[in-house]
Amino acid sequence: MRQAPYNRSMSAAEWNARLYDSSHGFVWQFGRDLLGMLAPQPEERILDVGCGTGQLAAEIARSGAGVLGIDSSAAMIAQARVKFPAISFETRDVHALAFDGEFDAVFSNAVLHWVRPPEAAAAAMIRAVRPGGRMVLEFGGHGNIPILMSAACHALSRLGVADPERLNPWYFPSIAEYSAILEANGLEVSYAQLFDRPTALEDGEQGLANWYRMFGGTFLGAIPDAAHADFHRMAAEFAAPSLWRDGHWTADYRRLRIAGHK
């Protein structure tokens, strides 16, 4: 969903839809909470931007609303279609959306931190909403994952990678920054919250390495495969005092939740 060095649509191997479903179910489980805010109604048309393997689109459809799920990863969309054949899914980049007022609401969970440039994406999403329609979004906000980032940079520095911060593929805006982008594109922002959400990772000791395998492609791609085990060991040593608790890793997530009407 973005134009950055590591792109979710690059290949199924890099954006592993199976790993996403098997070990990262928390992504859509937390998104359920956001659905309460969307409050989809029967007969409404709703666009789910960055739908992944379709779990939240299916929950929206259960309300009786019509839903179109889009994601830039063909592997994710293929899996969504298998899981939920009655729902419409399309492989699309949010920047390339050509909708104009077709939707009562646009919804997006845990994906817009991948999307650059954010202005073009916001413009395309808002264009897709009918006048009076609504938008409900949540993603990583300002101050998200400081320890996960530092641990990766620490490990890469020790493995000889210069200036590893430049490999950061994410966009974590503040309330003011993202509200300004939405408002400049015609959305009246009526709700915004930035909040910590420490998130328990699955897979016990392997949880941290699986998180980097799933989401840290730019970091792992900077070193040879043979160095990956060292990366995971050094990142874990760095992160453990802050993020290892009670037999599992806890990601230091901070969310930006933001909503409004057109």
Which residues make up the interface to ligand BEZ (CB under 6 A)?
A: 110, 113, 140, 144-145, 170, 215, 253
Q: Is the CB of 103 or the CB of 215 nearer to ligand BEZ?
A: 215
What is the smallest separation between the CB atom of 141 and ligand BEZ, expressed in angstroms? 8
Q: Is the CB of 30 or the CB of 244 nearer to ligand BEZ?
A: 30
Q: Is the CB of 145 or the CB of 156 nearer to ligand BEZ?
A: 145
Cα 176 → chain centroid: 20
> In angstroms, rounded to a whole number, what is the distance separating the alpha carbons of residues 39 and 24?
24
What is the smallest separation between the CB atom of 217 and ligand BEZ, expressed in angstroms? 10
Burial tier of 105 (Cβ tally within 10 Å: 0-12, 13-18, 19+): buried
Q: Is the CB of 28 or the CB of 170 nearer to ligand BEZ?
A: 170
What is the smallest separation between the CB atom of 240 and ligand BEZ, expressed in angstroms? 19
Buried b (16+ CB within 10 A) or exposed e, 35-45: beebebeeebb
What is the smallest separation between the CB atom of 145 and ligand BEZ, expressed in angstroms? 6
What is the smallest separation between the CB atom of 13 and ligand BEZ, expressed in angstroms? 17
Angle of CA points 45, 137, 87, to nearest 5°: 35
Whether the CA torsion 130, 51, 73, 176 is positive or negative: it is positive
Phi, psi of 151 (to 5 degrees): -65, -40
Q: Is the CB of 67 or the CB of 145 nearer to ligand BEZ?
A: 145
> In angstroms, rounded to a whole number, what is the distance separating the alpha carbons of residues 93 and 90?
10
